Amino acid sequence: MLSPGVHRCTCVRRHNGSSPGAWRSAARHDLLSAFPQSQSKRFPMVFERNLTTAPLLFALAALLPAAFSANCALAGYPDRIVRIVVPFAPGGGTDVIARTLAQEMAKDLGATVIIENKPGAGTIIGTQAVATSEPDGYTLLMGTFAHAVNPSLNAKLPFDPHRDFAAVALIARSFNIVVVNPKSPFQSIADLIAAAKADPDKLSYGTFGTGTSAHLAGELFKNMAKVNLTTVPYKGAAPAITDLIGGQIQVMFTTVASAASLVAGGQLRALAVTSAERSPAFPQLPTVAEAGVPGYAAESWYGLFAPAKTPADVIDRLNKSAALAVQSEAFKRLGVNEGLVMVARPPDELDRYVRGEEERWRKVIQDAAIKIE
């Protein structure tokens, strides 16, 4: 039943090839015959206007999916497992940090966050896997110091560290410790520099991988202190430290995780930290800059990246989740054990930081003629 005053339109006139103007006039006639005369002065104008604006309305409707695509991407995110690719083997410092991050982010995101280890080729294999993944926020990369130095170490990379990635969050920064054998005559950085200058070919330092933070921290020291130390490469921190304790090498610029317990146990002597500021974890240790090499600073870092073109709203959601994660008790404990300074900065700050690190280490690598074949 129709309400009083409402009439059913029983006549439908189709466009039979006549001009649009004639068709609109006919349509108006049919409409007026179906509605009360009191409405005739207002409604025909609206009807005619709708006929002329219909194409515009259809065009606007076609644009709606694009306009709301970002919001739709975020609305159900995440609705499945999120993977963080670690381009190192399980058990190392980066792996431990990534697993702690995954555990804490999972609580906030309400989804499962897993770690996928893809080691090899100086982090290139794992990094490339993320670069070629779908930009949907479900595959992320735990980037490190290597992300900034690989472009200078490798003539060709299968990805561009800026074009192929979207920065998510700078998670944390860390430093290395300059350590020597406890029986060494070196009690300070000044002692080390003096000995290296007195006998340029005598002292050596151990590294655990070409282009690692331990390697480039040593090269930066040589460059800025104007000394010569012979570089001795090892396949990991453990064999290098074993030789340091045994007296085969004289010094290392090693990670906190690899050396802290040995320093505490008296098996190694720490001379300084490589960071720009003193560490709360080792307040008694001076920085290398304080100890005799002004301006020296070398640090490792950990940042979260997504494939390029990941929706901005998804990036923002991940950034907020990471920032919340590093405030957890688990990360506070990790900070002490690994010598971390928690950061959790916005995406644009991570991007600027990586570009600055890339430029700074490029000169060190070029001056030392370091290449990975």
pLDDT in tens, 23-53: 444 444 444 444 444 444 444 444 344 444 4
Q: At what angle do helices 93-109 and 312-325 cross, to 10 degrees?
A: 110
For residue 74, the model assigns a pLDDT of 63
Secondary structure class of 266 (helix, strand, coil): coil
The residue ranges of the chain whose pLDDT is under 50 are: 1-54, 56-57, 60, 66-70, 72
Element (DSSP H or E) covering residue 305: strand 299-307
The whole-number pLDDT of residue 343 equals 84
3-state secondary structure of 82: strand
- What DSSP character marks residue 286? P
Question: CA distances (Å), 158 to each of 116, 126, 308, 327, in order?
Answer: 20, 11, 15, 35
Domain 82-173+304-319+345-355's class? alpha beta
Give dist(CA 176, CA 339) in Å, integer: 8
Judged by DSSP in three states, 39 sits in helix
Question: What pLDDT, on the 0 to 100 scale, is given for residue 23?
Answer: 43
Cis previous bond, 36, omega within 30: no
Q: What is the pLDDT of residue 155?
A: 83
Residue 238 has a pLDDT of: 87
Please name the residues in contact with 232: beta carbons below 8 A apart, sequence gap of 6 or more.
204, 205, 206, 207, 240, 243, 248, 249
